[in-house]
Structure 1
């Protein structure tokens, strides 16, 4: 067999052949593996983008900043061994992540609306904002030191423009806070600031390329948890917190106690007189002895009763029905006086029991020229549990001021009577009422008293709010987790007999 001679290339020729067989630059995924600067700066830039520019759509204003804080935390965690400023930035980022994610969880609890909860929310919000500013200062100084170590900056004259761009972030956020303080409503300056923010982020992204060309080696600080494990851990904490909020923190605490049976013979006699005049016995049985005795010597009783299925108010599916009973009792006296009762009863149970709210439009507020308040609004709640009648006061009952907005009247400040409460999930015959007394100012005016009942139809809302908060902040309409049911007691007192409007 012929033997062919083969001459092995020398070292120079071998290096040339090897170089020609390789691509000019490695693929991006390989580059990111061998140049940690690019991966860290991508995390940092995306984190700053998500926390700096928020979208008020579909709850993204809550979730995107939370993701942004996590990305910033990962980036600072990898950089924490580079210099003291970046180590401080890592600790500040941890504080900010805890504050933002803590607010995410508290948003699932109604407890945040209590004075203690509002204090905690204020502390977390303030801590998050301060940590955000501190994070930017640490980033500015930390990256400037990195560039010095890499030989990109000579001496001590690192300017704001020639530097990493992180210093401009501090200026940018200071300008943003200034616009918030003066309540700037224009469009030109915010658009300019968005453009400036994007340029600053691009300058930060370019820093990774600069550091690669210098040959400065970044050695990410070792961590017990990988980025993926850290993300999973925080996600589990978030899910558990939200589940606890929706499962246990979406209701108003109530003080339910066994109802005391009536033992006053005078009250029993007045009850019989009122029943004989047409006062509904089911409503009469719910009143306290003091409320019944306040109707002693009644001249007339006017009753309006309607069943109000929630489907009649645009709610899809079987969602229960309310029976609204309005009762007016004319009291003795020289001037005409009426004691009014607005009673509700769930005749068909609802699918979900969360929070409830009643907005009362009393006669003296709707028609102040004809009627004046004689006695303030009172009332209570009742239900049946394990064969026993239980009662509770409203969690809140009184007047509140709020800003109302309508397509007809625009924005206006209003002050109305509200009752806020939760009904038991395991109970029957859930019901309640409000009562007040009015006195005639001028003759000839109708009686017009409205009850606006807000019922929570679903647990799925974020942030979680009560029916009272949802109604006062809804402006042009309640969100999909609440339904509004309305009824009115309306009649002309000078008619004999006085008959409610619509029931002639």
Structure 2
């Protein structure tokens, strides 16, 4: 065989041998430690990523928690240390599912309890990391090899530093955040480095028996978390009012006096006797109405402005009677002593679907404060008329925040609105009184109304928080103004000149 022929034969043998050798990916898949360690590593990574959009702050940790559990589940048959780490991952799986359910409710732990739970979780992860290190070292010794380095030891030290800082005044400082980020990076690098040195320990791997495959387990857990969020949201946001059958109205003379001032008969009929009595001595009445639209075709439309242009008849809107459309009315009733009673009504007509925790805030510009008289939810069901107090109705300092204006605190009336399923003619009102200065001529009031068209609000937000922000599909504003007796007198004098 000549030299060129031998070279050609050597090249052919080399090509054939190269084709027969498995790829690097194939070698990794043969290593039984590769997949569990990859799950554990990516579980840690996804739990450490915080992205506050598209619900990724919930989806990524959920996926990370289940991946970590699947990794430790596969390793639990390889010794006590791995079983301890698996038990901790199971506890994390249960806690994270509970957290997802509570995040959609007002019952999520707050204050010092949150810090205690966070410290407990950090301690559990430290124990889990130490158990993983102990188990991996035992496997390496069983395989007759020693790791060239101990990266998990450094990772455990950094995790311990995070735990120690949690019990110091620096717990919420920048230093604690920096230490946490360093610990995260060190742990991830340590897991990747240790994973690469387990090829020779493959024969020591004992796969734990499982009844549910990893894919079914992951998808099942994700589905359970989704169902938990939806279920807890429905429970937290659908709060049927403490309703009772409406009694027959009394105070017929007082009600006739209010109608004589111009108050519509339907409005007078909806008022309770106690609230009619609060309007005793009224001598002037005016009102303004807006049609508020929620959903994709959101907006507002003035229907009638009886305070500025009472001569113009009400507008017949093309949107009247459509779903997610509400009639908002502000009535101004002047009382003796420079007081102006404000009656704010919200009426969903025959298409009301206020089942999932609607909310409102109201602001009046009284010169010396606003006195909340009360309010009521009204509806009909099975031929009966019902009334109920407005849940969470309050007049106090409310702190709200949004991405444009930041956090701010002001005094306002707030409350929530929720009717039982099957309720018809859903409506309600709030009555408060503004104390005015003697020279006050004009004023205005504002209502922000949030309409929840479905039950899931994640994370949970209270009534005042829901109303914060800009108008849009779920939130609309109803503003109107009024003239006092002094304002009307001044305008009459100007007109006479």
Assess, with a 3 A threshold, how the Cα gap between structure 1 residues 102 and 389 changes in structure 2: closer, same or farther: same
Residue 427 of structure 1 and its aligned partner are, at CA, apart by: 2.3
- Correspondence 1:170 to 2:159: yes
Map of 1:134 onto structure 2: 127
Which residue, 72, 75, 85 being the options, matches 1:89? 85
Residue 308 of structure 1 and its aligned partner are, at CA, apart by: 3.2
Q: Distance in 2 between matches of 1:274 and 1:100?
A: 57
Listed as ranges, the matches of 1:477-496 within 5 Å are: 477=470, 482-496=474-488
Assess, with a 3 A threshold, how the Cα gap between structure 1 residues 405 and 119 changes in structure 2: closer, same or farther: closer
Q: Distance in 2 between matches of 1:326 and 1:232?
A: 51
Map of 1:277 onto structure 2: 261
Q: Distance in 2 between matches of 1:329 and 1:221?
A: 76
Q: Distance in 1 between matches of 2:117 and 2:151?
A: 35
| SS of equivalent residue, structure 2 residue 270 | coil
Cα offsets for 1:281-332 (capped at 9, x unmatched) = 11111111122123233222232333334445289x9643222222222223
Residue 146 of structure 1 and its aligned partner are, at CA, apart by: 3.5
| SS of equivalent residue, structure 1 residue 219 | coil
Map of 2:274 onto structure 1: 290
Listed as ranges, the matches of 1:308-327 within 5 Å are: 308-310=292-294, 311=297, 313=299, 319-327=323-331
Residue 212 of structure 1 and its aligned partner are, at CA, apart by: 1.3
- Correspondence 1:251 to 2:235: no
Contact 1:451 1:488 in 2 (8 A): no
Residue 95 of structure 1 and its aligned partner are, at CA, apart by: 0.3
Map of 1:143 onto structure 2: 136
| SS of equivalent residue, structure 2 residue 448 | strand
Listed as ranges, the matches of 1:104-503 within 5 Å are: 104-108=100-104, 112-114=105-107, 128-153=121-146, 163=152, 166-168=155-157, 170-171=159-160, 173-174=162-163, 181-184=170-173, 194=181, 197-198=184-185, 200-213=187-200, 217-245=204-232, 249-262=236-249, 264=250, 267-310=251-294, 311=297, 313=299, 319-332=323-336, 335-347=337-349, 349-350=351-352, 353-364=355-366, 370-373=367-370, 375-405=371-401, 411-459=407-455, 461-465=457-461, 467-472=463-468, 476-477=469-470, 482-496=474-488
Assess, with a 3 A threshold, how the Cα gap between structure 1 residues 201 and 305 changes in structure 2: closer, same or farther: closer
Aligned-pair Cα RMSD in Å: 3.9
Assess, with a 3 A threshold, how the Cα gap between structure 1 residues 379 and 184 changes in structure 2: closer, same or farther: same
Contact 2:85 2:131 in 1 (8 A): yes
| Structure 2 alignment gaps of length 5 or more | 1-12, 302-318, 492-497
Cα offsets for 1:195-232 (capped at 9, x unmatched) = 76345423322323312135662122223333234224
Assess, with a 3 A threshold, how the Cα gap between structure 1 residues 85 and 371 changes in structure 2: closer, same or farther: same
Residue 336 of structure 1 and its aligned partner are, at CA, apart by: 1.9
Q: Distance in 1 between matches of 2:447 and 2:279?
A: 21
Contact 1:54 1:61 in 2 (8 A): yes
Q: Distance in 2 between matches of 1:406 and 1:117?
A: 20
Assess, with a 3 A threshold, how the Cα gap between structure 1 residues 185 and 280 changes in structure 2: closer, same or farther: farther
Cα offsets for 1:23-75 (capped at 9, x unmatched) = 67534564345321111111111111111233223111111111111111111
Residue 379 of structure 1 and its aligned partner are, at CA, apart by: 0.8
Cα offsets for 1:110-154 (capped at 9, x unmatched) = xx3158999999997676555334323332333344344445449
Map of 1:76 onto structure 2: 72
Range 213-222 or range 36-45, more displaced: 213-222
Residue 99 of structure 1 and its aligned partner are, at CA, apart by: 0.7
Q: Distance in 2 between matches of 1:208 and 1:46?
A: 12
- TM-score with structure 1 length normalisation? 0.77
Q: Distance in 1 between matches of 2:341 and 2:354?
A: 33
Contact 1:459 1:481 in 2 (8 A): no
Range 193-202 or range 213-222, more displaced: 193-202
Aligned residues: 458
Q: Distance in 2 between matches of 1:404 and 1:236?
A: 33
| Structure 1 alignment gaps of length 5 or more | 1-16, 365-369, 500-504
- TM-score with structure 2 length normalisation? 0.78
